[in-house]
Each structure stands twice: as structure tokens, then as C-alpha cells.
Amino acid sequence: MGQREFKPGLHHAPQRVAKDGVGEVLGLADSHVEVGDAHPRFKVFNAYEACLRYTRPGASEKATYFGGGVPDSWYETPEQVLHIFHQLVWTREFEDAHGLQSRVVEIVADYRPKKNP
């Protein structure tokens, strides 16, 4: 199994190329991950979080953001929506006996830091 060819679209086209020439993809982690962890593609990492921006007409023109797939959620800024996730990470795709995988190569942001027991 080797390097897989990238296809256009979210989580298919690399957003950056590492010094060794391998493409890397930015992802939002559904659970806490560590550098070096590998997970089946699309099982832990998301390309984006869909949200609805709603502005109430009238006296208050302030927008509210509702996160997709997160019941009873509302946020005051798009940045707060990111905190639905645990981390923002760079990953590399590879294929092994289990299929297409994504390996964490860098943690950019910890939105919900792991708590020590």
C-alpha cells in the first residue's frame, strides 16, 4: 500500500505540502487525538462544521449561529462553533490493510483540552 492520489474536494486536495513533498489536510477532530494517531478517514476528522447564521429582524440585528448536528446549540460567533470539536489538526492520508487512514501530524489548536484523570 502506498501514497494515494488526491482528488478534488474537501478532504481530498491537500491544503499544504510538507517539506518531503507529501500533501497534508486540515481537519476538525471529533475526539481528542495525539500526534501520530491514525484513524479511518472521515471517522474522526471533519473538513468543516455546517452552521446556520440567523439574524433577527428588528431592534437587535445581532447574528446567532446554530451548529449543524448539535441539538439545542447556539453561538454568538463563528469561532465559538469550532468548540464543538476537540482540536484542529493537520493530517496525512495513507492506505493500509484497514483501508484509507488519516494520521495526525500536527495539532494546531486544542478547543477542549484533554483533562488528566
Question: Measured at the alpha carbon of residue 28, what is the angle toward residues 71 and 39, in degrees to the nearest 5?
Answer: 110
| Whole-number Å distance between alpha carbons of 93 and 10 | 13
Contact criterion met (CB below 8 Å) for 21 and 27? no
pLDDT at 8: 45
**Residues forming a β-bridge with 16:** 24
pLDDT at 33: 94
Q: pLDDT tens digits, residue range 37-67? A: 999 877 888 877 778 888 877 767 788 888 8
pLDDT at 58: 73
pLDDT at 49: 72
Residue ranges, the chain, pLDDT below 50: 1, 6-9
| DSSP label of 3 | P
